[in-house]
Amino acid sequence: MSDNPEQLRYTESHEWLRQLDHGIAEVGITDHAQSLLGDIVYVELPEVGSTLTAGTEAVVVESVKAASDAYSPVSGEVIEVNESLNETPEIINQDAFGKGWIYRLKLADSSEIDALLNAAAYTLKAAEDDD
Amino acid sequence: MPGSRYSSALVQTAVGEIQSTERQRRQLPTIAQAKGPQQLPTLESAALQPAKGQSSQAPEQRGGDSQATGQDSARYDLRNIPMSNKTPLYPAHLAAGGKVVDFAGWQLPVHYGSQLEEHHQVRNDAGMFDVSHMCRLHLSGQDSGDFLRHLVANNIDKLTEPGKALYTPMLLPQGGVIDDLIIYRLDNSNYRVVVNAATREKDLAWMFKQAIAFDDVNLALLDDTAMIAVQGPQAREKTLQVLSDTDAVVAAGLDPFFGAVTSDLFIGRTGYTGEDGFEIVTPATGGIAMWDKLLAAGVKPCGLGARDTLRLEAGMCLYGHDLDETSTPLESGIAWTIGWQPQDRDFIGRSALAQQKSTGIPRRLVGLLLEGKGVLRDGQTVQTTAGDGLITSGGFSPTLNRSIALARVPWDCRPGSDCSVLIRKRPQPARVVKFPFVRNGKAV
């Protein structure tokens, strides 16, 4: 498993969040998650303008193996989705924490981020899963 | 492929509360759950263990003890049934980085890194699969031919040449499919039979039960063996390189769907991918050596994940999905496996099939091509003008780069028509087609 970047925050359900400027955050699934899912062949993206609530389904990730929900780590309005996933969903397999970002949202309440896991806590959680 | 990123139905779907409620209802697995029943092997468990005596033994097998040569460990004790069996090739999977999961009670690799790459490897070059979990039998005795003429729907008398193989369903009297199997005729009183791992115990029980009516039928389990399927356009050439000179001569002489016994191997020019290749049965102790030789010849290990997408593209049925005890071969796209001639051959299920044929076949198995993005999955509802059906095997086709499926639909739903598949409760357009989808590397 590749390292979980220090600057990101994580959920126990294997999503990551990167804080950008002006109350905007970028969301994806972790490298550990893509490794569990296997080759990803389709991502059902949220619609731009839709409102997501923390802990609810935001995205469906379809791999060769199964369809899986990914949850929104925080609440907010979707302002942009990663359109390149429509043609090349495998970039999540290749670069889950970078080019494989899934959507960006305008945070409804930036204090929600405080409740998310840091890299060390998530790494521990992911390691427990492997046991 | 259409350029639109979303199907129109998806774009028009309202988001927000309604969708959120729908999603809660449909209960997709979370990412954590999608991991499946993976049990990472320990180093201790990686030691090579003989297959003999590992598998669960049904009590019915004891009834066959006197007949079953080479089967001296048939005992039935729940405490002795391991949670999951290992094939003789298990250490090779660990060495190759296989992601091992439980499959029908066997510890087998679902992939060795990328299922998609393994799929393409088989379509474009050569890959190998550990199929040792499948159940191999040697059938012998003066009455073995008559036994098979009664036991299975296809007619072994089509096997006019020694070594020829037959694909056939084995039916219940009501016409439902107990299992699908391959029978190789070695001579008039010797046959090799391969049945599915998941149905092993019920198949054996059924076969032993039917064999009672015949005086001279011997069924011997070949559990002390490993079986490797080498598949792909380069599979034969690469396999011939690693066989002994005498075995290579035999293997090179096999026509498609023939098999032969050599000094210590059984080699069949058969498979489950829609590509050319061999299925090789070796003594269990020689399995790893054969695997390693194939590896050195450039044959890449491929997991059961790729095996499933390959067979789906090739339009080959998977028992428990496309075939089961509640559907007849006439409803399963394998009517061609019913040996109606001669009319006086009284195989099990014949009268039920004849009756269904005369009163009307209610359903048929068809192929589906999803028009837009997304992935068809087993169990999704298919809406047609003739009524609703169900996807029996769905997935992503790496060769076609779109989603395909096999589905059981009302008989009046014909290939060439349009339908909708409910994916997460939203209807998505799909086309009803004939299958296979891919054969010998090419879209059909």
pLDDT per residue as tens digits for the range B70-125: 333 333 344 444 567 999 999 999 999 999 999 989 999 999 999 999 999 999 99
Write the pLDDT tens digit of every residue in A10-20. Answer: 999 999 999 99
**A46 CB near a chain B CB, below 8 Å?**
yes
- B333, B331, B385, B369: which is closest to B353 by C-alpha? B331
Question: How far apart are the C-alpha atoms of B57 and B73, rounded to whole Å?
Answer: 9
**A50 CB near a chain B CB, below 8 Å?**
yes
Q: Is the ipTM, as predicted for this complex, more than 0.85?
A: yes
**Nearest-by-CA chain B residue for A130:** B40
Write the pLDDT tens digit of every residue in B228-254. Answer: 999 999 999 999 999 999 999 999 999
Can you name the CATH fold of A9-112? Answer: OB fold (Dihydrolipoamide Acetyltransferase, E2P) (2.40.50)
Q: Is the dihedral of CA B206, B208, B211, B212 positive or negative?
A: negative
- Residue B79's identity, in one-letter code, is R
Q: How would you classify residue B76: left for phi > 0, otherwise alpha for psi between -120 and 50, otherwise beta?
A: beta
Q: What is the mean pLDDT of chain B?
A: 85
Question: How far apart are the C-alpha atoms of A98 and A92, rounded to whole Å?
Answer: 8
Given a cut of 70, whether residue B57 has pLDDT beyond it is no
**A128 CB near a chain B CB, below 8 Å?**
no
- Find all residues with CB under 8 Å of A128, minimum gap 6, and list them: none
Q: What is the largest CA-CA distance in chain A?
A: 40
Q: Where are the domains of chain B?
A: 37-360, 362-444
Question: How far apart are the C-alpha atoms of B38 and B102, rounded to whole Å?
Answer: 6
Given a cut of 90, whether residue B319 has pLDDT beyond it is yes
Strands A67-71, A15-19: pairing is unpaired
CATH of domain B362-444: 2.40.30.110
Q: Can you tell me the mean pLDDT for A84-90?
A: 96
Given a cut of 50, whether residue B20 has pLDDT beyond it is no
Tell me if the domain spanning B37-360 has CATH number 3.30.1360.120: yes
On whether the CB atoms of residues B174 and B330 are closer than 8 A, the answer is: no
Chain A residues with CB-CB distance to B116 below 8 A: 39, 41, 64, 90
Q: What is the pLDDT of residue A128?
A: 85
Chain A residues with CB-CB distance to B16 below 8 A: 50-51
Write the pLDDT tens digit of every residue in A39-75. Answer: 999 999 999 999 999 999 999 999 999 999 999 999 9
- Contact A67/B23, CB-based, under 8 Å? no
**Number of Cβ atoms within 10 Å of the Cβ of B32:** 16
**Nearest-by-CA chain A residue for B114:** A39
On whether the CB atoms of residues B440 and B275 are closer than 8 A, the answer is: yes
Chain B residues with CB-CB distance to A42 below 8 A: 373-375, 396, 403
Q: What percent of chain B has pLDDT over 90?
A: 79
- Residue carrying structure tokens 């993206």: A45
Residue B101: strand, helix, or coil: strand
Q: Which residue has the higher pLDDT, B201 or B53?
A: B201
